[in-house]
């Protein structure tokens, strides 16, 4: 209260007092000053009702002291008002997770009134309304720092929130792993990791495995790009593994023994074979229970395989959009003789000029196209030796591409000018020796990769390449190829690969005694001939008259 007395001792904050207050001091309060009618009204005439000014003027009898108190008090009030002003807070999510191409909606609010929200940096992927509603539709992985600005329109104070943004570019939304991220440049944008399923692979699971790489069930055909057809009648499964219907009354109580098939073979009970267990084996195996290998098969990819990348320049004068150019180029590349096209990773408009004949605007586009190496068939040979010429042929004028697409889908019939070999450039290609480093023959030991332009890369067993000599029978077991030596004629092959020959003991003695008997007979015959010859040469003749 005004007029209260505070005791100050020692040398504390306000120092030490030299004078001593009288013991009978009685403070005078503001109400007592105002009740005294004899006060000089001139002292408080300029205080304008300010209590601090009136009190100090009356207590000291000095008008200037009261006015100084008034000025100091108002300055204090103004400073206090300024110090009590805070920037508006921003309440909302600090981590944003979105899937590529899908719109995410987030609401931000503030405890302050009269607050408007804006973005500090403009972006086509983000949009925010003044009430704090944020829309995010990720369309690319370009680096971007999201900064949300909240400003109080009354005092012009503002706050900034920079939330963490994580975008998933996996092929399927179910493959996104948002707690495993990587930074994009020096921005606040992060890319979620991908957990690919059994049919896809690649950094973003964007590459599909060959659905016809593994064999389908017997008598079931495989359609490229779709996989195995349906199982035969009275069987159920995915076309690669088919089993008897569980409702079949004949084999209803039959089941496959545990671990009946080896090496990931699939067991099913065959109604046609009298409810006996039957194995569907991977392509390498030759026996009925997937134990003995020896067949050739397609190698498997054991790491991310680089793509075949080319750059081409195309030109058109239809003022086509980026989407239409991308779809039209992809349509032509997808229909090459060997289908290995994956996608166009970049479609960028370049310079424009007036066309000499039609005088319309001729636009040039730079397109980066990616193709996928596949181990089987002529894909490798085509991509490495024939691709560039095939692309040039694909952009020759054809009537089938002039038909206008009237649907809402992107156009695939943009009429491009013919291109030359100089318009197509190879950016990345892998030769056969480099490609072999990305494939392996997962399975039994000692399989080796063999390449041919028409068949591509094939895993070949030594058994099919004359591993066993001298007619030995080869079996490819888990430990590698094994030879069973088969005797022939008078010889018995032996050795790891039947490379050595030994003679049969019985045959040896038979030949020996036969030769000795022949020599004896020959000697006896010679002796008889000589004996008769010598006897005929020693005859004597006598005259008759003697």
* CATH number of 387's domain: 3.30.70
Say which residues have a Cβ less than 8 Å from residue 150's Cβ, sequence separation at least 6: 87, 88, 89, 90, 108, 110, 115, 116, 117, 132, 158, 159, 160, 161
Whole-structure pTM value? 0.50
- Residue 507 to residue 514: CA distance in whole angstroms: 10
Domain-embedded: residue 447: no
Domain end marker among 435, 451, 482: 435
pLDDT-based confidence at 181, cuts 50/70/90? confident
pLDDT attached to residue 400: 44
Domain end marker among 193, 221, 252: 193
Higher-confidence residue of 326 and 537: namely 326
Domain-embedded: residue 396: yes
- Enter the tokens of residue 321: 């959009």
- What sign does the dihedral 341-347-353-354 (CA atoms) show? positive
Domain end marker among 141, 167, 193: 193
Residues paired with residue 105 on neighbouring β-strands, in sequence order = 135
Domain-embedded: residue 517: no
Domain-embedded: residue 227: no
**Residues 56 and 106 both lie in one domain:** no
**CATH number of the domain enclosing 155:** 2.60.40.60
- Residue 251 to residue 167: CA distance in whole angstroms: 51
**Residues 384 and 403 both lie in one domain:** yes
DSSP-derived 3-state class of residue 380: helix
Average pLDDT of 290-308?
Answer: 83
CA 371 from centroid of its chain's CA atoms: 15
**Residues 35 and 106 both lie in one domain:** no
Domain-embedded: residue 479: no
Domain-embedded: residue 384: yes
**Residues 369 and 389 both lie in one domain:** yes
pLDDT of 405 strictly over 60: no
Classify 114 in phi/psi space as left (phi over 0), alpha (psi -120 to 50) or beta.
left
pLDDT attached to residue 365: 93
**Residues 313 and 431 both lie in one domain:** yes
Element spanning 179, H or E: strand 176-183
Domain-embedded: residue 4: yes
Average pLDDT, the chain: 80
- Residue 389 to residue 223: CA distance in whole angstroms: 28
Instruction: Count structural domains, the chain.
Output: 3
**Other beta carbons less than 10 A from residue 43's beta carbon:** 19
Biggest CA–CA distance in the chain, Å, is: 224
Say which residues have a Cβ less than 8 Å from residue 443's Cβ, sequence separation at least 6: 263, 282, 284, 293, 297, 459
- Residue 391 to residue 315: CA distance in whole angstroms: 14
pLDDT attached to residue 247: 47
Residues paired with residue 244 on neighbouring β-strands, in sequence order = 235
**Residues 333 and 418 both lie in one domain:** yes
pLDDT of 402 strictly over 50: no
**Residues 322 and 413 both lie in one domain:** yes
**Residues 105 and 173 both lie in one domain:** yes
Element spanning 480, H or E: strand 480-484
**Residues 374 and 347 both lie in one domain:** yes
Strand segments (E) across 253-373: 266-270, 276-280, 300-301, 308-316, 341-354, 361-371
User: How many residues are recorded in the chain?
Assistant: 546
- Enter the tokens of residue 362: 């001729």
**Residues 326 and 430 both lie in one domain:** yes
Residue-number span of the structural domain to which 379 is assigned: 308-435
**Other beta carbons less than 10 A from residue 483's beta carbon:** 22
pLDDT of 47 strictly over 60: yes
pLDDT attached to residue 299: 85
Task: Please measure the distance between the N-terminal and C-terminal CA atoms of the chain and give it in whole angstroms.
Answer: 202
Say which residues have a Cβ less than 8 Å from residue 206's Cβ, sequence separation at least 6: 171, 200, 342, 343
Domain-embedded: residue 536: no
- Residue 541 to residue 544: CA distance in whole angstroms: 10
Q: Which of these ranges, 111-115, 232-236, 243-247, 469-473, has the smallest mean pLDDT?
A: 243-247
Average pLDDT of 175-199?
Answer: 83
Say which residues have a Cβ less than 8 Å from residue 203's Cβ, sequence separation at least 6: 194, 304
pLDDT-based confidence at 145, cuts 50/70/90? confident
**Residues 3 and 24 both lie in one domain:** yes
**Other beta carbons less than 10 A from residue 208's beta carbon:** 14
**Residues 100 and 30 both lie in one domain:** no
- Between the alpha carbon of residue 205 and those of residues 202, 326, 370, the distances in Å are 5, 21, 15
């Amino acid at each position: 209260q005004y007029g209260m007395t505070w005791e100050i001792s020692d040398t504390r904050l306000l120092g030490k007092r030299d004078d001593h207050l009288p013991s009978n001091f009685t403070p005078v309060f503001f109400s007592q000053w105002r009740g005294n009618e004899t006060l000089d009204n001139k002292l408080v005439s300029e205080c304008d009702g300010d209590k601090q000014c009136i009190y100090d003027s009356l207590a000291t009898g000095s008008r200037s002291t009261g006015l100084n108190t008034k000025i100091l008090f108002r300055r204090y009030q103004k400073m206090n008002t300024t110090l009590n002003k805070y920037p508006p807070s921003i309440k909302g999510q600090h981590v944003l997770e979105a899937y590529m191409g899908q719109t995410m909606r987030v609401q931000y609010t503030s405890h302050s009134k009269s607050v408007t929200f804006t973005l500090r940096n403009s972006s086509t992927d983000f949009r925010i309304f003044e009430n704090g509603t944020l829309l995010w539709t990720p369309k690319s992985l370009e680096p971007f720092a999201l900064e949300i600005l909240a400003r109080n329109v009354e005092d012009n104070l503002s706050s900034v929130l920079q939330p963490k943004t994580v975008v998933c570019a996996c092929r399927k939304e179910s493959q996104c792993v948002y707690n495993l991220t990587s930074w994009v440049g020096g921005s606040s944008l992060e890319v979620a990791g991908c957990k690919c399923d059994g049919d896809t692979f690649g950094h973003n699971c964007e590459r599909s495995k060959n659905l016809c790489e593994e064999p389908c069930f017997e008598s079931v055909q495989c359609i490229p790009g779709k996989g195995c057809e349906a199982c035969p009648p009275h069987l159920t499964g995915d076309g690669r593994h088919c089993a008897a219907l569980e409702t079949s009354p004949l084999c209803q109580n039959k089941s496959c023994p545990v671990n009946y098939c080896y090496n990931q073979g699939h067991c099913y009970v065959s109604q046609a074979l009298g409810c006996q267990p039957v194995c569907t084996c991977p392509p390498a195996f030759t026996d009925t229970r997937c134990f003995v290998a020896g067949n050739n098969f397609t190698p498997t990819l054991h790491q991310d395989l680089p793509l075949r990348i080319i750059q081409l320049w195309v030109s058109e004068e239809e003022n086509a959009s980026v989407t239409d150019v991308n779809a039209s180029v992809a349509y032509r590349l997808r229909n090459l003789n060997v289908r290995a096209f994956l996608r166009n990773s970049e479609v960028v408009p370049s310079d424009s000029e007036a066309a000499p004949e039609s005088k319309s605007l001729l636009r040039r586009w730079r397109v980066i196209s990616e193709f996928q190496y596949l181990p089987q068939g002529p894909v490798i040979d085509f991509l490495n030796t024939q691709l560039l010429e095939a692309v040039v042929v694909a952009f020759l004028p054809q009537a089938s591409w002039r038909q206008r697409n009237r649907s809402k889908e992107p156009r695939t019939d943009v009429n491009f000018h013919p291109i030359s070999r100089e318009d197509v450039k190879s950016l990345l290609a892998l030769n056969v020796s480099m490609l072999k480093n990305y494939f392996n023959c997962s399975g039994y030991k000692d399989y080796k990769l063999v390449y041919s332009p028409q068949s591509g890369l094939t895993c070949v067993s030594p058994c099919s390449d004359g591993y066993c000599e001298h007619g030995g029978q080869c079996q490819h077991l888990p430990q590698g190829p094994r030879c069973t030596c088969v005797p022939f004629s008078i010889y018995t092959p032996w050795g790891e690969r039947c490379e050595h020959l030994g003679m049969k003991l019985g045959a040896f003695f038979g030949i020996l005694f036969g030769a000795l008997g022949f020599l004896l007979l020959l000697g006896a015959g010679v002796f008889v001939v000589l004996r008769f010859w010598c006897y005929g040469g020693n005859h004597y003749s006598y005259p008759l008259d003697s």
